[in-house]
Amino acid sequence: MTQHTAILRSLVGAAILTVLVAGCAGAPPPGYYTLGAIPPSSPAASVTPPALISVGPVDLPDYLDRRPIVTRDNAFAVRLAGNDYWAAPLQEMVPRVLVSDLAMRLPADRIEGFPQISDSVGDYRIVIDVSRFDVDTSGMATLIARWRLYGRNTPQPLLVADETLQRQAEAGGYGAGAAALSTTLGDLADRLAQAVTTVRARAPRAIGSS
């Protein structure tokens, strides 16, 4: 190898290293986002006797079983964010936020995530199957879910409903999308609280009663 070739290779190597370092230094840090509980729009009514309510299981579709945030391009296509992630798995965050949302709407009751309360102990259990939970390219957040409300040791649900809830993000970006998705969960909690109130009006039951 000639001295000229060695020098040329050293210069090329240094140039490549400089480009790589500059690229790494200029890359934006990853973004991490969470869902949050949304207070009810109107003051919650205190209902007696109090109830023990279990929320779950809450099942999410497989396309959400990943940390990168999913954006819906159309009815048949979704895409993953390249550098933006959920701070925790949605399968953990969604049930936890729903429990918090429902607790704010039914403050006199004890709300727990499934399976902390068994069917033989809790007064009511709410099972939720989510088929869609994402934001599209226009910023529209959509939650589509079917929920079933069970009484204690009742094999058949007392109420069943399908919900399609949408909220427009107030700005662009993944943070605004996470806020809009959080609001759809608050809207679902409104429906669930109303369902529990309707059912208990037919046959009120205190915590731990037989």
Can you tell me the distance from the alpha carbon of 18 to that of 174, in angstroms, rounded to the nearest whole number?
Answer: 32
Residue 207 has pLDDT above 50, yes or no: no
In this prediction, residue 48 has a pLDDT band, given cuts at 50, 70 and 90, of: low
For 17-50, b/e burial (b = at least 16 CB within 10 A) is: eeeeeeeeeeeeeeeebebbbbebeeeeeebeeb
Give the highest mean pLDDT range of 46-60, 70-84, 191-205: 70-84
Architecture of domain 30-202 in CATH? Answer: 3-Layer(aba) Sandwich (3.40)
The whole-number pLDDT of residue 188 equals 98
Between 14 and 129, residue with greater pLDDT? 129
Tens-digit pLDDT profile for residues 126-136: 999 999 999 99
Can you tell me the distance from the alpha carbon of 113 to that of 128, in angstroms, rounded to the nearest whole number?
Answer: 12
Tens-digit pLDDT profile for residues 94-121: 999 999 999 999 999 999 998 876 666 7
Can you tell me the distance from the alpha carbon of 124 to that of 139, in angstroms, rounded to the nearest whole number?
Answer: 35
Collapse the DSSP code of 37 into the 3-class scheme (helix H, G, I; strand E, B; otherwise coil) and give the result.
Answer: coil
In this prediction, residue 205 has a pLDDT band, given cuts at 50, 70 and 90, of: low
The whole-number pLDDT of residue 50 equals 87
The domain limits of the chain are: 30-202
In this prediction, residue 204 has a pLDDT band, given cuts at 50, 70 and 90, of: low
The whole-number pLDDT of residue 45 equals 66
Cα 186–Cα 190–Cα 191 angle in degrees, nearest 5: 120
When pLDDT is averaged across residues 180-206 and rounded to a whole number, the result is 88
As beta bridge partners, residue 125 has 54, 150
Between 74 and 119, residue with greater pLDDT? 74
In this prediction, residue 60 has a pLDDT band, given cuts at 50, 70 and 90, of: very high
User: What values do phi and psi take at 124, rounded to 5?
Assistant: -140, 150
